[in-house]
Each structure stands twice: as structure tokens, then as C-alpha cells.
């Protein structure tokens, strides 16, 4: 039996916002693959829950008029992975989605829940960081759109106001257009595991030079981070093995890796450099570039 004291299951977003506004102490639950497990372990005992599972309006994945890709917060990972729009425009997000859990988990776990948990290992988070994604947050009477970096406040902590819900993830056209990308999840098992490290790399290549490079890291610091120094270094440079190696070395700069039972700090730092190099090299290939030394 789950130790739940009450469960609200509104049918519309407006109703959900009204309920949450009236009782901001409710714990929001999406797919439940984290919240219910925490309850099984005795956390959140006796909590009142606001379930968003009936809000089908938040499951939509759509291309807006200005080219922004909008992913509803309640879209399950299975739907994200199978979405033709995602496969066509941001295949890297599909890669991240399918790296998560197994089929049972992906059928119910949602991208919004993944982000709102604030877990630094969230497979979607490092990728959305690299995509320059924005988050659409709403309360009963306000709306704000903020970049991913302003959302993460610390391990397991996100900046949500009382009564505020994440309704959609917005990926602006400049975030994905013409970019090749690759997400690498490093974990002891290929399925049902939590990332020891996650690296998402996206780049735009012209005349075999980096026009733009973005790298997002998961589990490298208390919150997902971007590798701005490595990105700035790449700007305008020709794609060579040396360039990619230097990018990978600079990718370590924002890292504040720590030791846990999953991996030591030193091992994580080693992984960042090795995996950043692999992720960037593959992203380059997918963007139509070629490491000169491989010609």
C-alpha cells in the first residue's frame, strides 16, 4: 500500500492549477516512477499528491509556427523516442530518452517528471542543456519561460514557485537546426541503470569548421552543466583530432565531480574527457564534418 493521504487527479490543466494554487503543499506526481518509489522507501510519508496523468493536453509534441519544438511535460519517454518530429529534428533527445530505464519505465516516466526531480543524472537534462531548451512554467495566474540553467538550484532542487507547474519544454529553432548531435550515457548496465556520467554534444559544421558547438554534462557537478570554455574554443576552428582533443580537455573545466559509490571523482573526470571526445567526434560526423586525421 502506498502511504498517500489524498490524491487529486484533475482532468484539465486549469483545474490542476486551481488545486495546486489552493494547496501548494501537494506533491506533484507525473508518471510516478520516482515519487512512488520514494514513498515505498518511506519518504514523503502521508503526502497529498497532485497527479497530472490525466492532463493529455500536456503530452503533445508539436512544432510551433516559429520553428520552436514544444514537448509537453507529460510526454512519456516512449512517446518521445517514437515521435517522428523528435527523430527528425532532435534525434539526440530520442537517444537520451531511450537510454532511460526499460520499456515499462519509459511507458510511464515523463520528461517533465525527469526534470522536476532535479536529479543530476537525468538523461534528458544534459541533452536539453545542450539544446538551449527553455522551460515553460505556469501558476494559476502567471507564466514564465526560463532557460534550463536557471531551473536547477542544486542536487534534487529546482526553482519552482509555490503552485507552479512545468507545462512544456521549448527547444528554439536555433537550438537544433542544422546541428548534428550525440548523447553518451555511461553506466555499468545498458538498461535500467542510472548514468555514472552523461555527455550530450551538438555541433554545426561548415567547410569542416565548427560554426557552433554545445556540450552538456550530467553527473559532472551538483547540477547539469554546459562546457562554455570548450564551446568558445571550438568556434571557427577546423575539425581536427587535436581540436577535438583540446575541446575534450576543456570540457573538464565546469566539472565539480564527486566521489560516490558509483564512481570516484578521478574516474568521473577521466570519463568526462574520454566521453566528451567521443561524443563530439560522433556529433561532428552526424553534422557532416570529418576529423582531418581520419581522412
Partner 1 sequence: MADQIMLSLKVNGQSHSLQVHPFARLLDVLREDLRFTGTKEGCGEGECGVCSILLNGRLVNSCLVPAVQAQGGEIVTVEGLADGQRLSSLQDAFLTQNGAQCGFCTPGMLLAATDLLQRNPHPDEAAVREGLAGNLCRCTGYVKIVDAVQTAAREAR
| Structure-block grid coordinates of residue 156 | 534534487
Note whether 194 binds partner 1 by CB under 8 A. no
Note whether 163 binds partner 1 by CB under 8 A. no
Residue 109 beta carbon to partner 1: minimum distance, rounded to whole angstroms: 9
Using the contact rule CB under 8 A, the part of the chain among 20-28, 155-163, 184-192, 246-254 near partner 1 is 184-192
Note whether 153 binds partner 1 by CB under 8 A. no
Q: How many chain residues are in contact with partner 1, going by CB under 8 A?
A: 27
Note whether 22 binds partner 1 by CB under 8 A. no
Note whether 102 binds partner 1 by CB under 8 A. yes
Site for partner 1 in 231-290 (CB under 8 A): none
3-state secondary structure 213-239: EEEEEECCCCCCEECHHHHHHHCCCEC
Whether residue 218 contacts residue 123, with contact meaning beta carbons closer than 8 Å, is answered with yes
Note whether 27 binds partner 1 by CB under 8 A. no
The residue to which cell 570548450 is assigned: 230
Distance CA 201, CA 260 (A): 25
Residue 96 beta carbon to partner 1: minimum distance, rounded to whole angstroms: 15
Note whether 220 binds partner 1 by CB under 8 A. no
Residue 41 beta carbon to partner 1: minimum distance, rounded to whole angstroms: 8
- Look at phi and psi of residue 211 and say left if phi exceeds 0, alpha if psi is from -120 to 50, else beta: alpha
Note whether 46 binds partner 1 by CB under 8 A. no
DSSP state for residue 294 in the 8-state scheme? G
Q: Which C-beta is closer to partner 1: that of 30 or that of 257?
A: 30
Distance CA 81, CA 132 (A): 19
The residue to which cell 554534462 is assigned: 217
Whole-Å CA distances, 238 to 134, 211, 287, 290:
30, 9, 14, 10
Note whether 160 binds partner 1 by CB under 8 A. no
The residues binding partner 1 (CB under 8 A) are 1-7, 9, 32-33, 36-37, 40-41, 51, 53, 98, 101-105, 107-108, 190-192
Amino acid at each position: 500500500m502506498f502511504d498517500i493521504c489524498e490524491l487529486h487527479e484533475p482532468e484539465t490543466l486549469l483545474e490542476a492549477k486551481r488545486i495546486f494554487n489552493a494547496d501548494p503543499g501537494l506533491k506533484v506526481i507525473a508518471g510516478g516512477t520516482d515519487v512512488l518509489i520514494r514513498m515505498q522507501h518511506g519518504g514523503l510519508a502521508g503526502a497529498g499528491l497532485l497527479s497530472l496523468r490525466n492532463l493529455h493536453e500536456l503530452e503533445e509534441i508539436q512544432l510551433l509556427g516559429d520553428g520552436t519544438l514544444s514537448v509537453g511535460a507529460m510526454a512519456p519517454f516512449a512517446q518521445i523516442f517514437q515521435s517522428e518530429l523528435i527523430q527528425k529534428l532532435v534525434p539526440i533527445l530520442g537517444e537520451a530518452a531511450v537510454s532511460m530505464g526499460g520499456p515499462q519505465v519509459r511507458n510511464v516516466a515523463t520528461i517533465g517528471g525527469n526534470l522536476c526531480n532535479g536529479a543530476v543524472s537525468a538523461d534528458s537534462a544534459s541533452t536539453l542543456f545542450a539544446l538551449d531548451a527553455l522551460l515553460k512554467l505556469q501558476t494559476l495566474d502567471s507564466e514564465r519561460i526560463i532557460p534550463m540553467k536557471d531551473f536547477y538550484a542544486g542536487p534534487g532542487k529546482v526553482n519552482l514557485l509555490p503552485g507552479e507547474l512545468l507545462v512544456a519544454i521549448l527547444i528554439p529553432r536555433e537550438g537544433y537546426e542544422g546541428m548534428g548531435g550525440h548523447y553518451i550515457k555511461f553506466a555499468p548496465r545498458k538498461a535500467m541503470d542510472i548514468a555514472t556520467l552523461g555527455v550530450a554534444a551538438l555541433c554545426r559544421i561548415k567547410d569542416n569548421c565548427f560554426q557552433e558547438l554545445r556540450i552538456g554534462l550530467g553527473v559532472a557537478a551538483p547540477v547539469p552543466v554546459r562546457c562554455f570554455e570548450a564551446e568558445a574554443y571550438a568556434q571557427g576552428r577546423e575539425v581536427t583530432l587535436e581540436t577535438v582533443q583540446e575541446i575534450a580537455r576543456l570540457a573538464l573545466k565546469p566539472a565539480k565531480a564527486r566521489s560516490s559509490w558509483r564512481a570516484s571523482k578521478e574516474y568521473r573526470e577521466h570519463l568526462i574527457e574520454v566521453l566528451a571526445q567521443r561524443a563530439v567526434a560522433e556529433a561532428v560526423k552526424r553534422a557532416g564534418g570529418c576529423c582531418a586525421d581520419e581522412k
